[in-house]
Amino acid sequence: MPGPWFGAVGRGIEIRTGTSVEQADGVRLSDGEFVPTRSLIWCVGVRPDRMVARLGLPLQRGRLTVDEYLTVPGHPEIHACGDAAAVPDLTRPGSVTAMTAQHAQRQGNLAAENIAASRGLGSGTRRPYRHHDLGFVVDLGGVKAAADPLGCGFPASPPRRSPADTTCWPCRPTGHASPPAGPSTQSSPGSSCSWGWCDPARYR
């Protein structure tokens, strides 16, 4: 499999795309296949709190419909952000932002600024939400990771090297770097990479 996941496949990890889990007595997939297992690890948020559906407001795939200023259409007094809101992704027209902490933190800050602006406080001017995603990192434990910074995929496992080769494995993720508070809050965070894994013995 091409892209940043091919190293994961080499470790015995099977990747299914276009398939979802329908039942978890074991794992029953949407294509009808059943995977017997006593361990199911789920690590993806898929929907907002159920309270959102009870508000009687317009929804988009279970999330509150909002405009780029984080307000519900027809209700300028209501702001929503994070997992609860389907915020338009101005960098990808026609799509909405993902349910991630990186978006939620920035949207929360902007919602507060826009609420203040709507009352003549702060800058007095509302701003649209815009965030340029620089890619993703997935820590697979130890020195294993998959990353796609700036669209340049890195595999999940470093290549084997000879003892004489001291070239560093380029992207061991250590988390998402957050920009400082202030005017630059909406800037892209990027992924923090460490170049400290240079011991050739790690790759033998």
* pLDDT score of 110: 97
Distance CA 114, CA 122 (A): 9
- Mean residue pLDDT of the chain comes to 75
Least Cα distance to 63 among 19, 21, 100, 96 occurs for: 96
Domain boundaries, the chain: 50-118, 133-204
Q: CATH for 50-118, among 3.40.50.150, 3.50.50.60, 2.60.40.1120, 1.10.1060.10?
A: 3.50.50.60
Residue pLDDT, tens place only, 131-163: 877 777 777 777 777 777 776 666 555 554 444
* pLDDT score of 94: 93
Residue pLDDT, tens place only, 99-119: 888 899 999 999 999 999 999
Residue pLDDT, tens place only, 11-26: 778 888 888 878 777 8
Residue pLDDT, tens place only, 54-72: 999 999 989 999 999 999 9
Residue pLDDT, tens place only, 158-187: 554 444 433 334 444 444 444 433 333 333
> Considering the entire predicted model, what is its pTM?
0.57
DSSP string of the chain, one letter each residue: --STTHHHHHTT----SS--EEETTTEEETTS-EE--S--------S--GGGGGS-S-EETTEEE--TTSEETTEEEEE--GGGEE-B-TTSTT-B--S-HHHHHHHHHHHHHHHHHHTT-TTSS-----------EEE-STT-EEE-GGG--B-SSPPP--TT--PPPS-EEEEEPPPPSSGGGGS---EEEE-----GGGG-
